[in-house]
């Protein structure tokens, strides 16, 4: 079963707007893949979802940050990820994604973040868009 680490942008998109990122979450729920995260990524997710710019979206979908975090936590495996020995990305949050992927022994890093996507891979782990990840998962199903 493919092991994925999703960037925070993918998780936010999945829960607030659906689309292909949500299909990745659904694939995990349907046991087509496993999604891994870390404490640092969960903290970032909570921080991002709590931003004022998303308040109206939460009202329209009739849920809360805490409900989404509980839902997400039910479908993911949390690993302990050590900090990278050397910073790879300009944004430390992106380094947390890479560190989680190493700790999880992930087969794919899924992100919409341009800095991560420009890397193309990290320590042999491909970095792909949500659409590319979904294509790989459904091809293997």
Spatial strand order in the sheet of 3-6? 76-79, 34-38, 3-6, 108-110, 125-128, 121-122
73 vs 93, residue with greater confidence: 73
Over residues 102-117, the pLDDT tens digits come to 999 999 999 999 999 9
Residue 140 has pLDDT above 80, yes or no: no
**2-16 pLDDT per residue, tens:** 999 999 999 999 999
Domain ranges of the chain: 3-140
- Percentage of residues in the chain with pLDDT exceeding 90? 85
CB 36 within 8 A of CB 80: no
Region 88-112: mean pLDDT is 92
Q: What is the pLDDT of residues 41-83, one digit of tens each?
A: 999 999 999 999 999 999 899 999 999 999 999 889 999 999 8
Q: What is the CATH number of domain 3-140?
A: 3.40.50.1010
């Amino acid at each position: 079963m493919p092991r994925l680490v999703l960037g925070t942008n993918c998780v936010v998109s999945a829960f607030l707007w659906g689309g292909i990122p949500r299909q990745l979450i659904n694939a995990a729920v349907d046991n087509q893949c496993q999604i891994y995260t870390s404490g640092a990524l969960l903290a970032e997710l909570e921080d991002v979802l709590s931003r004022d710019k998303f308040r109206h979206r939460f009202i329209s979908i009739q849920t809360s940050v805490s409900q989404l975090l509980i839902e997400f936590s039910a479908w993911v495996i949390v690993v302990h990820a050590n900090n990278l020995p050397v910073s790879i990305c300009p944004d430390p949050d992106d380094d947390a994604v890479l560190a989680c992927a190493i700790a999880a022994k992930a087969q794919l890093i899924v992100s919409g973040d341009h800095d991560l996507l420009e890397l193309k891979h990290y320590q042999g782990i491909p970095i792909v868009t949500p659409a590319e990840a979904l294509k790989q998962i459904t091809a293997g199903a």
